[in-house]
């Protein structure tokens, strides 16, 4: 039968022994009773259920997710025990029993974040450093030896366990008390992390160095290793002052024990000072978080030291079921794999507090130190411990740390409850309850509020709270607490110097880099259903109009080209034939549309020799049509009234077109420049040019015409509806009674016709059809329309035939093709 090693002192005992022969500690601290809680609402001490934490990732705050992701990447300093970077940066990491202490810290400090750390820590199954192994054998545990705080977290857990308010270790690890730990831990770590110990710590170390048995261990640890009570007390005091404050209500116990141990005189000073100033409201200005936070601390990550209570928890722990927190403490302290020397630190670390503050131990089976945890005095008195001052200095603190360290967030005394709640705004209700009953104090920095202080009497009054699902999910799934403890013990980085030198996995094993990353605000367009409906309809319409039809095949392209060539050949041959033969088969139009009749009427009714403005706003490409329209109209006016013509154009080609018009088309009229006609030429600026022309006639025209309203008629020859519209609009109100006649291309007439119906235009002549009518009224002159008319008529008939036949053919062909495609 195997012997049982005392979890406290490491003494080997017989297998059937209940208590350690050396330290009288419970050898079996089982947690089996905690596992049978089934699926009832989670209560402190309840075994967590399995849940994939990744499912809850999305609900995490962004900064936590970032932190977790950074942690997942496992910085180099986190991976090795001998990493010098770690050693340099984490001098204060010295948890003799990180497996116990670290996990609660990790899991409770930042529930989400630390859960990830814990899981990460579990993955790292590093071996215990040799120095730790060596220490285990060399320690002479002393029952009354105050336990050196394994870590901030561990201390907190112990103390919390002592309060009985928190669940057993595994629950504790997920408990919302963790944030408080984290909040308080950061400054302490930061303090130590600088590598420049504050005077108080240096003094402590100086006292402890004498007893250090290993070179690797810092001085402060040596006494505890050697088991000397005063030294241990001092070392604990070191943490009690410097670190234990990071723990919660239990930290004062330690601190108080330190104070009681009388090992450190400076402690008293600190205490008084803390009580008087620092841990009251004034302490807010001296937030520990203001101290120069080292980079490693900025991660605030708790060391990846997931701890768990061993499955083979000593039986004596079962008796603590009534007070789950106590069992928690025991569990932590009783990790079977914990080196004996570390175990030796645990119970003594609390015991002094019990001795000092607790009148007596209520539980005979439990270690005295554990019982003492439940004493009211221990907590209350402990909370009055204020050793904090050394910690602050403000520079270089990351923003988040500043927030944490802001007065409202300083986890001091009773006020720290609210502060912490504000700190971790997502603290679940159950945690608030716990906090309410278990005052969150920062013995490290402040004095506990005795009114709200944790007291043994309140332990049982606090009903076990139901854990929220996300916390439940964060709870360690593995029931083997011991294994987790081992893993955490082995995975943490070893500290090289400082008070935590030699300890492993005590300090945050993650890089929580401070970030000033601004909150991401959604820039998503806030569109209502109606907006989206409009948008969808618009897109639908546009898509329908712009969707190109794919070319099905090359053959179709070839056939299209052939059709186009065929059309060209047909038209060319037909026109050539008609023009060559000079047929006069088709009659000119007989019916005169009303708009043409009006135009002719206006042209015939102008005053003799009156000024007429002729606007040449068309392109040379349509000069054939436009001249066919305009020449008979103007010629008709010339023949009848001999008007004085003023030419102007908003087209750069208008000048040449006007010259061509008067010198070629109306060559027979022999109009004299400057006398019978004036060419103003090109008017730049489009709208502005027309407006300027209409407002103030340029010089160089007829002397009796100084304004546009002095023209007897305005003839706008245009092939573009916009150009015609510009003249109608911009001369509106300025042209007076001067009528506008529009000689437009057939392509522009539909858009100009509304102006005729509205009376803004006196008459219109459109296309070759209109030109043929006007030409008839002008005695068939100049005959252009007539010359083109047969070819024009045949061309249109051909077009109608092609469109009809070809359209029907293509309609049925298209339908047939679709039908075939559908089949």
Partner 1 sequence: MPVSLDFIGGVIGFAFTIMILSYLIGDNPLYRIASYTFVGVSAGYIATIAYWHVLLPKLILPFISGGSSERLLLGVPLLFSTLVLMKISPRLTRLASPAMAYLVGVGTALAIGGALSGTLVPQFFSLINAFDADIATARNANFLEELVEGGIILAGAISTLVYFHYGAKKHSEDGAVKRMGLIELLAWVGSIFIAITLGVIFAGVFSAAVTALIERVHVVLLFIFSLIGPV
Partner 2 sequence: MRALAVLIAVSVGLVTLAGYFLPVQVPFLNLILSWALIMAGTATFIGVFNLISMHGLKITRREKGSGYSVFLILAVFSTFALGLSSSPTGVPLTFLFNAIILPTQTSLMAVLAITLLYSAIRLLRYRPTMMSIVFLISVIVILLGYVTLPFGDVPIISTWIRPWVMQVLAVGGARGLLLGIALGTLVTGLRVLFAVDRPYGGGNK
Helix, strand, coil content of the chain in percent (nearest 5): 55, 5, 40
Closest CB to partner 1 among residues 313, 745: 745
For residue 620, state whether it binds partner 2 (rule: CB under 8 A): yes
Check: CB of residue 258 under 8 Å from CB of residue 247.
no
Residue choice 542, 558, 581, 585 for contact with partner 2 (CB under 8 A): 585
Sketch the per residue contact string, 613 through 652, with partner 1: x for CB under 8 A, - otherwise: --------xx-xx--x-----------------------x
Q: Torsion angle, CA of 172/173/176/177, rounded to 10 degrees?
A: 70
Check: CB of residue 290 under 8 Å from CB of residue 384.
no
Closest CB to partner 1 among residues 359, 621: 621
Residue 564 Cβ, how far from partner 2 at the closest point, in Å? 5
Residue 108 Cβ, how far from partner 2 at the closest point, in Å? 51
CA 769, CA 584: separation in Å to the nearest integer? 15
The residues, any chain, with a CB within 8 Å of residue 262's CB and separated by 6 or more, are 230, 233
For residue 622, state whether it binds partner 2 (rule: CB under 8 A): yes
Check: CB of residue 246 under 8 Å from CB of residue 234.
no
For residue 796, state whether it binds partner 2 (rule: CB under 8 A): yes
551 CB-contact burial (10 Å; exposed 0-12 / middle 13-18 / buried 19+): exposed
Residue 722 Cβ, how far from partner 1 at the closest point, in Å? 11
Residue 726 near which of partner 1, partner 2, none (CB within 5-8 Å, type-dependent) = partner 1
Residue 594 Cβ, how far from partner 2 at the closest point, in Å? 8
Residue 788 near which of partner 1, partner 2, none (CB within 5-8 Å, type-dependent) = partner 1
For residue 787, state whether it binds partner 2 (rule: CB under 8 A): no
For residue 540, state whether it binds partner 2 (rule: CB under 8 A): no
* Helix spans in 673-783 (H): 687-695, 721-730, 749-757, 767-777
Residue 529 near which of partner 1, partner 2, none (CB within 5-8 Å, type-dependent) = partner 1
Residue choice 406, 571, 605, 776 for contact with partner 2 (CB under 8 A): 571
Residue choice 656, 676, 709, 781 for contact with partner 2 (CB under 8 A): 656
The residues, any chain, with a CB within 8 Å of residue 4's CB and separated by 6 or more, are 12, 13, 14, 15, 17, 27, 28
Residue choice 12, 746, 776, 802 for contact with partner 1 (CB under 8 A): 746
The helices-and-strands tally (H runs, E runs) of the chain is: 38, 8
Strand partners, 616: 717
Look at residue 314 and give its three-state secondary structure: coil
Check: CB of residue 503 under 8 Å from CB of residue 96.
yes
Residue 580 near which of partner 2, partner 1, none (CB within 5-8 Å, type-dependent) = partner 1
Check: CB of residue 112 under 8 Å from CB of residue 118.
no
Check: CB of residue 716 under 8 Å from CB of residue 740.
yes
Residue choice 686, 709, 777, 783 for contact with partner 1 (CB under 8 A): 686
Closest CB to partner 2 among residues 207, 760: 760
Closest CB to partner 2 among residues 577, 688: 688
CA 435, CA 438: separation in Å to the nearest integer? 5
Residues near partner 1 (CB under 8 A), total: 67
How remote is the C-alpha of 139 from its chain's centroid? 53
- Applying the rule CB under 8 A, the residues between 238 and 257 that interact with partner 2 are none
Residue 531 near which of partner 1, partner 2, none (CB within 5-8 Å, type-dependent) = none
For residue 591, state whether it binds partner 2 (rule: CB under 8 A): yes
Distances (CA, A) of 804 to 561, 567, 624, 791, 808: 20, 15, 28, 20, 6
**Token pair for residue 190?**
């930061």
**Token pair for residue 558?**
């070839």
Residue 206 near which of partner 1, partner 2, none (CB within 5-8 Å, type-dependent) = none
Residue 812 Cβ, how far from partner 1 at the closest point, in Å? 21
- Applying the rule CB under 8 A, the residues between 685 and 724 that interact with partner 2 are 685-686, 688-689, 691-692, 695-696
Residue choice 21, 747, 776, 777 for contact with partner 1 (CB under 8 A): 747
Closest CB to partner 1 among residues 202, 751: 751
CA 17, CA 627: separation in Å to the nearest integer? 125
Residue choice 215, 461, 529, 543 for contact with partner 1 (CB under 8 A): 529
Residue 422 CB: number of other CB atoms within 10 A? 13
Closest CB to partner 1 among residues 309, 768: 768
How does strand 12-13 pair with strand 713-718? unpaired
For residue 797, state whether it binds partner 2 (rule: CB under 8 A): yes
Closest CB to partner 2 among residues 63, 682: 682
How does strand 677-682 pair with strand 763-766? unpaired
For residue 767, state whether it binds partner 1 (rule: CB under 8 A): yes
- Applying the rule CB under 8 A, the residues between 550 and 589 that interact with partner 1 are 561, 564-565, 568, 571-572, 575-576, 579-580
**How many CA atoms within 13 Å lie on the side-chain side of 457?**
7
For residue 65, state whether it binds partner 1 (rule: CB under 8 A): no
For residue 674, state whether it binds partner 2 (rule: CB under 8 A): no
For residue 560, state whether it binds partner 2 (rule: CB under 8 A): yes
Look at residue 616 and give its three-state secondary structure: strand
Residue with tokens 């083997």: 480
Q: Which range, of 136-144, 192-200, 448-456, 562-570, touches partner 2 by CB under 8 A?
A: 562-570
Closest CB to partner 2 among residues 714, 771: 771
CA 644, CA 587: separation in Å to the nearest integer? 34
Closest CB to partner 2 among residues 63, 653: 653
Closest CB to partner 1 among residues 564, 818: 564
* ∠ Cα 286 290 294 (to 5°): 145
* Contacts with partner 1, residue ranges (CB under 8 A): 529-530, 532-534, 536-538, 540-541, 561, 564-565, 568, 571-572, 575-576, 579-580, 621-622, 624-625, 628, 652-653, 655, 681-682, 684, 686-688, 691, 719, 725-726, 728-730, 732-733, 745-751, 754-755, 757-760, 766-769, 787-788, 791-792, 795-796, 799
């Amino acid at each position: 039968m195997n012997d049982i090693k005392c979890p406290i002192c490491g003494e080997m005992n017989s297998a059937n022994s209940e208590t350690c022969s050396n330290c009288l500690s419970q050898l079996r601290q089982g947690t089996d009773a905690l596992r049978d809680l089934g699926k009832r609402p989670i209560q402190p001490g309840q075994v967590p259920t399995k849940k994939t934490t990744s499912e809850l990732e999305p609900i995490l705050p962004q900064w936590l997710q970032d932190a977790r992701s950074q942690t997942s990447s496992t910085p180099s300093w986190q991976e090795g025990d001998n990493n010098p970077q770690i050693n340099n940066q984490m001098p204060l990491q010295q948890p003799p029993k990180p497996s116990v202490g670290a996990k609660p810290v990790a899991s409770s400090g930042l529930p989400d974040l630390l859960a990830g750390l814990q899981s990460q820590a579990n993955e790292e199954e590093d071996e215990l450093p040799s120095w730790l192994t060596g220490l285990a054998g060399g320690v002479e545990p002393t029952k009354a030896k105050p336990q050196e705080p394994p870590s901030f977290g561990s201390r907190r857990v112990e103390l919390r366990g002592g309060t009985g308010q928190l669940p057993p270790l595994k629950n504790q690890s997920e408990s919302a008390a963790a944030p408080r730990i984290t909040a308080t831990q950061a400054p302490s770590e930061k303090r130590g992390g600088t590598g420049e110990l504050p005077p108080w710590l240096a003094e402590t170390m100086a006292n402890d160095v004498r007893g250090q048995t290993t070179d690797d261990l810092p001085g402060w640890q040596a006494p505890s290793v050697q088991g000397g009570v005063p030294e241990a007390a001092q070392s604990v005091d070191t943490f009690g002052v410097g670190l234990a404050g990071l723990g919660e209500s239990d930290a004062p116990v330690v601190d108080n024990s330190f104070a009681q141990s009388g090992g450190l005189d400076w402690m008293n000073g600190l205490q008084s000072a803390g009580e008087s100033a620092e841990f009251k409201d004034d302490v807010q200005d001296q937030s520990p978080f203001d101290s120069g936070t080292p980079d490693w601390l900025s991660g605030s990550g708790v060391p990846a030291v997931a701890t768990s209570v061993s499955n083979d928890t000593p039986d004596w722990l079962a008796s603590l079921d009534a007070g789950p927190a106590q069992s928690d403490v025991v569990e932590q302290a009783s990790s079977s794999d914990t080196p004996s020397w570390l175990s030796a630190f645990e119970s003594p670390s609390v015991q002094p507090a019990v001795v000092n503050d607790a009148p007596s131990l209520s539980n005979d089976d439990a270690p005295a130190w554990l019982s003492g945890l439940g004493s009211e005095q221990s907590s209350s008195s402990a909370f009055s411990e204020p050793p904090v001052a050394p910690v602050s200095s403000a520079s270089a603190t990351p923003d988040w740390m500043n927030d944490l360290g802001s007065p409202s967030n300083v986890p001091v005394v009773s006020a720290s409850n609210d502060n912490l709640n504000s700190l971790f705004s997502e603290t679940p209700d159950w945690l608030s309850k716990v906090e309410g009953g278990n005052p969150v104090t920062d013995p490290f920095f402040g004095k506990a509020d005795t009114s709200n202080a944790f007291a043994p009497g309140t332990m049982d009054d606090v009903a076990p709270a139901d854990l929220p699902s996300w916390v439940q999910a964060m709870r360690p799934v593995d029931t083997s607490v011991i294994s987790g403890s081992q893993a955490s013990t082995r995975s943490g980085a070893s500290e090289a110097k400082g008070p935590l030198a030699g300890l492993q996995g005590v300090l945050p094993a993650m890089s929580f880099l401070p970030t000033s990353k601004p909150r991401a605000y959604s820039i998503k367009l806030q569109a209502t259903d109606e907006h989206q409906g409009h948008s969808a309809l618009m897109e639908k319409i546009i898509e329908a109009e712009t969707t190109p039809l794919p070319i099905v095949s090359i053959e179709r392209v070839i056939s299209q080209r052939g059709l186009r060539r065929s059309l060209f050949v047909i038209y060319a041959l037909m026109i050539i034939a008609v023009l060559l033969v000079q047929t006069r088969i088709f009659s000119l139009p007989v019916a005169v549309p009303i708009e043409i009749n009006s135009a002719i009427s206006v042209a015939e009714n102008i005053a003799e020799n009156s000024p007429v403005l002729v606007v040449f706003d068309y392109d040379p490409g349509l000069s054939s049509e436009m001249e066919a329209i305009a020449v008979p109209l103007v010629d008709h006016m010339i023949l009848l009234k001999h008007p004085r013509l003023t030419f102007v154009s908003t087209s750069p080609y208008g000048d040449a077109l006007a010259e061509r018009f008067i010198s070629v088309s109306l060559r027979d009229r022999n109009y004299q420049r400057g006398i019978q006609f004036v060419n103003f030429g090109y008017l730049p600026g489009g709208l502005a040019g027309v407006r300027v022309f209409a407002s103030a006639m340029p010089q160089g025209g007829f002397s009796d015409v100084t304004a546009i309203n002095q023209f007897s008629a305005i003839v706008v020859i245009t092939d573009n509806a916009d150009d015609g519209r510009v003249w109608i609009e911009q001369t509106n109100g300025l042209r007076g009674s001067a009528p506008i006649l529009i000689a437009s291309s057939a392509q522009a007439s539909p858009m100009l016709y509304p102006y005729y119906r509205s009376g803004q235009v006196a008459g219109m002549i459109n296309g070759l059809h209109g030109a043929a009518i006007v030409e008839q009224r002008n005695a068939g002159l100049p005959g252009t329309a007539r010359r083109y008319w047969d070819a024009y008529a045949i061309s249109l008939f051909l077009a109608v035939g092609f469109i009809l036949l070809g359209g029907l053919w293509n309609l049925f062909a298209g339908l047939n093709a679709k039908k075939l495609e559908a089949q």
